[in-house]
Amino acid sequence: MTRPTLLAAAAAARLAEAGVPSARFDAEVLLAEALGTDRGRLPIADDATPEQIVAYEALLARRADREPLQHILGRAYFGPLTLAVGPGVFVPRPETELLAAWAAGQAGCGAAIVDLCAGSGALGLYLAATVPDARVVLVERDPRAVDYLRRNAAGAALAGTATVLEADVRDPGLADRLTELLGTVDLVVTNPPYVPDGAELDREAAADPALALFSGADGLDLIRDLATLAARLLAGGGAVGVEHDDSNGAGTAALLRAAGFGGVAEHRDLAGRPRYVTGRMDP
């Protein structure tokens, strides 16, 4: 028989043997993809055809080889968003949604928001989709990532506006360009490269582009520059949120304080790991 539930059970065992941590979930998601249905409908789906089984086997082989699930599907889910992703752009992680939710709580209607090191656009587009009349600028330097970013910005259902700016956050003239564009910036968010050089990564994490991962011997090189840039952008008053490596909560907080931010707070994710730091700039 080719019942979907039986196919998924066998596939989950295969993926678990290959070391995939979310074997059952991934097996079901890929089966739903091969069948052209939703994962929740698998128990009532029709038997798989021989052609669908062949397609499923091809997807499973890629996942068993530890190709990221999001690369196989060509998409990642982040809050209300479905983002195009693939080789060349950082795949957003669920834990970053905590920073996104914090940021949405800081932004009032019509807020001017800058997402630095935007990648696929997860943070900035989340805010453009959830904050009414928000004016969001997403800054990214990697041309490969910018391609995904533009596609995601064009395809998202937004409550505000989203503008993509291809630029390096270390460009000394960037703050002037952004201030000229937005007027007064109310909120800066960033999930920058923050992995210390030489850190060991599992195969799936290593599938993300190195440019989006590594940031000097301690992982703080780019955050040093971002703290100063954020302070300039928020000179009229506003909030900043920065995601960081789980070894660098205190280091990130110190950099924000040194840049002039007050009310600096360290936040943990649902697993209890240090995840992001926030601060405020008074007018």
Residue 252 DSSP symbol: H
Q: Please report where in the chains the tokens 């993809």 appear, as a residue.
A: 33
pLDDT tens-digit series, residues 211-261: 999 999 999 999 999 999 999 999 999 999 999 999 999 999 999 999 999
CA 86 to CA 68: how far, in whole Å? 9
Q: Which residue spans within the chain are E strands per DSSP?
A: 75-78, 81-84, 112-116, 135-140, 161-166, 187-190, 238-243, 262-268, 274-281
Q: How confident is the model at residue 206 (pLDDT cuts 50, 70, 90)?
A: confident
Q: How confident is the model at residue 14 (pLDDT cuts 50, 70, 90)?
A: very high
191 is in an annotated binding site: yes
Do domains 4-66 and 86-281 share one topology? The answer is no
51 is in an annotated binding site: no
Q: Does the structure show a pLDDT above 60 at 148?
A: yes
The answer, as to whether pTM is greater than 0.85, is yes
pLDDT tens-digit series, residues 82-127: 999 999 999 999 999 999 999 999 999 999 999 999 999 999 999 9
CA 54 to CA 143: how far, in whole Å? 35
248 is in an annotated binding site: no
The highest-level CATH class for domain 86-281 is alpha beta
Q: Does the structure show a pLDDT above 90 at 136?
A: yes
Domain limits, the chain: 4-66, 86-281
CATH for the 4-66 domain, from 3.30.160, 3.40.50, 1.10.8, 3.90.1150: 1.10.8
Burial track 241-276 (b if 16+ CB lie within 10 A, e otherwise): bbbbbebbbebbbebbeebbbeebeeeebeeeebbb
CA 241 to CA 227: how far, in whole Å? 10
* Poorest-pLDDT segment among 26-40, 136-150, 166-180: 166-180
Query: What is the reported pLDDT for 201?
Result: 87
94 is in an annotated binding site: no
Rounded percentage of the chain residues whose pLDDT exceeds 70: 99
Mean of all residue pLDDT scores within the chain:
95
Q: Does the structure show a pLDDT above 70 at 283?
A: yes
CA 99 to CA 272: how far, in whole Å? 14
Query: What is the reported pLDDT for 1?
Result: 53
194 is in an annotated binding site: yes
Query: What is the reported pLDDT for 184?
Result: 82
Mean pLDDT of 205-214: 91
Q: How confident is the model at residue 176 (pLDDT cuts 50, 70, 90)?
A: confident
Q: Which two tokens stand for residue 199?
A: 């850190």
CA 68 to CA 20: how far, in whole Å? 10
Q: Which two tokens stand for residue 45?
A: 């789906």
